[in-house]
Amino acid sequence: MYPRRCVVCDRPPGYGKMICPGCIGKLRVVRGPVCCKCGKPLRDESEELCKDCKRSKHFFTKGRSVYEYKSIRKSVYRFKYSGRSEYADYYGKAMAHYLGDTIREWDPDVIIPVPIHKKRMAKRGYNQSALLASGLARELGIPFAENLVKRTKNTIPMKELDAHQRQINLKNAFIVAPNDVKLDTIVVVDDIYTTGSTIDAVAAVLKDAGARDVYFVCLSSGASM
Ligand SMILES: [Zn+2]
Ligand SMILES: [Zn+2]
């Protein structure tokens, strides 16, 4: 057994701890004015929507994120690509702490992750969004469904693409697995919110399958607009 590591500095934070006390303040929580649709921090308080949401229609109803991406960028990278699946323990609890009241207001039937393709799953060994979603669902006592939506296409990493290419890349990338339960309200969980194109693609197939409202929560959100 290796000692667990701090999500910020990646060193052992001490027995029974998930983060060093001195590192807590280094993660910046999204506060102040946010876009009422996607939850991105806004520079101009008089605005209701960010630039992206003014420009484009979304399939999701609305969403919120916990941390400003810049303050968590390196940690998210290790969480996804360096095997630090244990970070999900701290981050799942943090999502419940900061967004629990909001999620309860939405009153979802189920919490699901943005799925990854089975090839990427085989390579990485875990889906970081599923770890976040299951931790969050457990904390809030809301059902978790890992495989309600499946990723059928192994898409190119989104960070290499612009907004239009992202949409093409995501076309027909997801399907809803057959299920007997009527799911009206669903919360989708992901690690990073940028343009919303991934969440939108998932929301679109869920709405096709009869969902009324698809909300999202992300661990972090991109730069303010
Ligand atoms: Zn630390
Ligand atoms: Zn927005």
Residue 161 has pLDDT above 80, yes or no: no
**C-beta separation of 163 from 143 below 8 A:** no
- H or E element at residue 55: helix 51-55
Give residues whose Cβ lies within 5 Å of ion ligand 1: 6, 8-9, 20, 23
| Nearest bound ligand to the CA of residue 90 | 1
**Alpha carbon of 211 to ligand 2 centroid (Å):** 22
Ligand at minimal distance from the CA of 65 is 2
Q: Is the pTM of this model over 0.85?
A: yes
| Closest to 142 measured CA to CA, from 192, 204, 205, 186 | 186
- Residue ranges per domain, the chain? 21-221
SS3 content of the chain, % helix, strand, coil (to 5): 40, 15, 45
57-68 mean pLDDT: 96
Give just the sign of the alpha carbon dihedral 218, 214, 81, 171.
Answer: negative
DSSP 28: P
Q: Is 185 helix (H, G, I), strand (E, B) or coil?
A: strand
Cα(68) to ligand 2 centroid in Å equals 14
Query: pLDDT tens, 7-28?
Result: 999 999 988 889 999 999 999 9
Question: Ligand nearest 195 Cα, by number?
Answer: 2
Taking the domain 21-221, which CATH number applies?
A: 3.40.50
